[in-house]
Every structure is written in structure tokens, then in C-alpha cells.
Amino acid sequence: MRLIKVTGGLGNQMFIYACYLQMKKRFPHVRLDLTDMMHYHAHYGYEMHRVFGLPRVEFCMNQTLKKIIEFLFFKTILERKQHGSLLPYTKRYLWPLVYFKGFYQSEKYFADIKEEVRRAFTFDLSQANAQSIRMRAQIDQDEHAVSLHVRRGDYVQPKFWDTIGSVCQLPYYRNALREMEKRVGHPHYYVFSDDLEWVKANFDLPDAVYVDWNKGEDSWQDMMLMSRCRHHIICNSTFSWWGAWLNPRKEKIIIAPERWTRDADSREIVPEEWIRVPVK
């Protein structure tokens, strides 16, 4: 049996699920381990079943018992120790019980099954609110629609600011907007943020549409609406990464930061066809 640990918010859960789909092609006895998600209080818990109609539980057991079994019987593969290699995820192990831990934030973990991933991540519109359904129709009719995602919230907390939150600030967005306006005639911005008042105070976007109603467990609907836009300006957030990636248009323009964290550039996570701009 192969277990893949699920953790994090919706964007990270999607990367883990995409890696799981790829691994399942080679190894039928692969399961998502949702044990820790039962005790995960950040964000909105495990969302894949509610947002995409995917199976609710693959593998789940008492957390303490799971940790004991993991320690005693499983070989653990930590993504951060693989130095970007895919071999640990494709090789066969002599030991039958293997446990995988990581976030897999790159297309390379599901490069062979992109269309299957897109089908899996089809939003369940029966769960969407009426205002988002109306906005979806409006965006679909807008040939100049550009999503702009600004994440603040937890990113401005002291424990995240230095490493993540300080990366995509006003200098990055000025560079990104300038680049988008060179490439798209008359862009019409749809703004998604957990701090729209900050955006309004610091950005000059007179015709922008501010999507301000998807709160709490409805937050996934912002990703759904982003994916309907023609082009995208994302920040260093897996949430807006997926909002842009799920746009199926071949001609889409996606502007991304050249750095993902203070200490790492974005080449690993940002596909080569996306446009990376300076954050300074």
C-alpha cells in the first residue's frame, strides 16, 4: 500500500490530489490519507468532495494509532529530501508499505495526465451561490476579463511575512499590471482578495469588479470565477495558481511573480509558458 498525506488548504490539496492521480496510474494500491485532515483547523478542512464532488474519504483512522503504525511499519518519503527528483514516486519498492509526505507544487507531478486532472477538478456548480453563478455568466461574456488575485490575510502575519507575505507587494503588482497592459488591449480586471479595502486603497483600477461575497466555506468560488477569466495575474498562492491553470484557453496570458518565497524563485512551480515578472 502507498499512502499520500493530505494537508493544507484547497490549493495544496489539489496539488496532492493531482500527484495521487498520476501515481495511481502506475500503482493501483494508492490511497489518500485524510487522517490528519480530521484534526486540521486551518482553512476549511478537506474540500475536494464538496468543491469537485470527489470521494469524501479514501483512508482515515485514529490519528494516534496511525502515527504508531506509520512509525513501525511504513517507509516514509519526504518530498523536501528528494531534491526535485520524480524517481521516488515512480519506482517500485521492495518494502510494501510506503508513506509519502509533501505538497508537490509543480506540473511535473501530473504532467502525463493534465486532461484527467482538469476533469477531476470540475467545479460542482450545484454548490455555488446565486451571486457567483451570475458573475460566472458575466465573466464568460467578457472578452477582456483578467483575474487579479491579492492574498494578504495569513500572509501579513509575522510568522509568514518574511518568507512569503513580503514577496507579492505593490512593486510586484505594478510590474504585473504594466506587463498585462502591454499584452492585452483594454483589460477588465476582476479582483479577488481577502483584503479588498487594501486593494482599493493602493491600486488604481477605476473599472474593476471586486468580488467580495465568497467568504468562509464559499471561498472556493473565487477560484471557480478566476478560472473563467481570459487572462490572469496571480500571486505566490496555490489558490490563484489553480485559478489560472484551470482556464483551458490556449491563448491565455498568465503573469506570475519571479519569486515564490523570499528564498526561492518560482521556476519550479510556474510553468515555462507563463510570464514571470520581478517582485521589486
209 bridge partner residues: 190
Q: What is the pTM of this model?
A: 0.96
Quick one: which H or E segment has residue 254? strand 254-257
Confidence of residue 127 (pLDDT cuts 50, 70, 90): very high
Write out the three cell numbers for 169. 507587494
Q: Return the percentage of the chain with pLDDT > 70, whole number.
A: 99
CA distances from 166 to 13, 107, 171, 200, 257 (A): 24, 25, 11, 19, 12
- Which of 231, 227, 233 minimizes the C-alpha distance to 276? 233
What is the model's pLDDT at position 42?
A: 66
25: pLDDT strictly greater than 80: yes
Query: Poorest-confidence range of 30-44, 170-184, 263-277?
Result: 30-44
Write the pLDDT tens digit of every residue in 172-207. Answer: 999 999 999 999 999 999 999 999 999 999 999 999
Distance CA 56, CA 46 (A): 8
Distance CA 56, CA 215 (A): 22
Write the pLDDT tens digit of every residue in 66-97. Answer: 899 999 999 999 999 999 999 999 999 999 99
What is the model's pLDDT at position 41?
A: 63
Distance CA 91, CA 55 (A): 26
117: pLDDT strictly greater than 90: yes
Q: What is the mean pLDDT of residues 99-125?
A: 97
Residue count of the chain, please give it.
280
